[in-house]
Structure 1
């Protein structure tokens, strides 16, 4: 598929999706959100894709925020619809993707950019990264899951401070807070993400998809995460990956998971 605002490349089990609007610092507009949805959906449907990495083009920005010009004149109803549609198409969609998604955060990840990174299953960052949710400085609040995911990742007090001050934190602070898993140089960012992806790909993609579902269940209102874990644990026993994994262990050899 041809995209206007993103690039999607497959190599050795990894699909790398790059937001490619450098003149706009990779800001998210409606078209980009739709294209990202299609790219993530296609990667998830591709059995050969074991891990997805999402990043921004250039060294200045992962995603510097949403494209404010698209909604500056919205009313209450349209504002609500904007948030609901965006969460459905991209942010909730990525969080619940059965294929693991790594955010490789290069440069600015602000507003919708940080919200996209937080929707990914985990994050690595370059040492020049800056992260924040500046929406209150525009008279609005984060609308793509930021008020929910940021406290989950760094705690309520720190999240409240970042949202209220509309401030930014650097990559090392983000690492100290637990917002990102690793910090490295700009040049080593994608190689690090790919190295981690390689470790993921050694394991059962079926088991990983079930683990994603079970972990996410803990953060859903009205859902018993322990019950989901028990169910998905049991379901693993009916998979070819379980048979191969246990057989390989008993035979003292490396497992060759079929992904089924």
Structure 2
């Protein structure tokens, strides 16, 4: 594959989309959800996504076992400044790499913190996985302690949205909930699949909702589902701890069944 030219709009402006797909022995998991999100994103940005057969061919040289396929689709080159070309020629690039999940985080749970950064609201980009992820980069730069697995992001109105690279779920008064992503955030493919299988309500809620939760989880289509055992403030103080029990395995079991990961007992 040739490198991206300097005038590629994805490189210059983040004008494009990407997907990270878990493969098991060359077979893509949640493939329908990944294709659907890529199509939604291309329609939103105003160019044509590669067809399904072209994308499926990127899996052909995957190694045995678990692997990750990263797909990047840019608008291509052309246009003048920010003005996009009248007839875009999208450019596809991909990469395959071996992958190993982190089963200790499935089993033992994770410690997370709130981030200071607030996501800006932009409904035109909400839900899609576009290439401009500078907010996530800045948020992830807030901590270097490896004991903290993730950071939670709220938006400029103080509403919970997601973690830096995972979606957020919780159980409150026996009801499964996840943030509504109408204004910002990435609608993860595992999130989409879980919404179609479980009674999960999309809600607008502030960080205080987590203090009342019986269980909290983070999940994505690569790592599976991590239960939370500790939540810290951005300043470092512990806000809440959870003891893992059978209740914490319910959402995890459903997510892992979709990815071929084991149930944890």
- Interval containing the TM-score (normalised by the shorter chain): under 0.3
Q: Please, what TM-score do these two structures have when normalized by structure 1? A: 0.27
- Of Structure 1 and Structure 2, which has the larger fraction of its residues in strand? 2
- Of Structure 1 and Structure 2, which has the larger fraction of its residues in helix? 1
Larger RCO of the pair (alpha carbons < 8 Å, separation 6+): 2
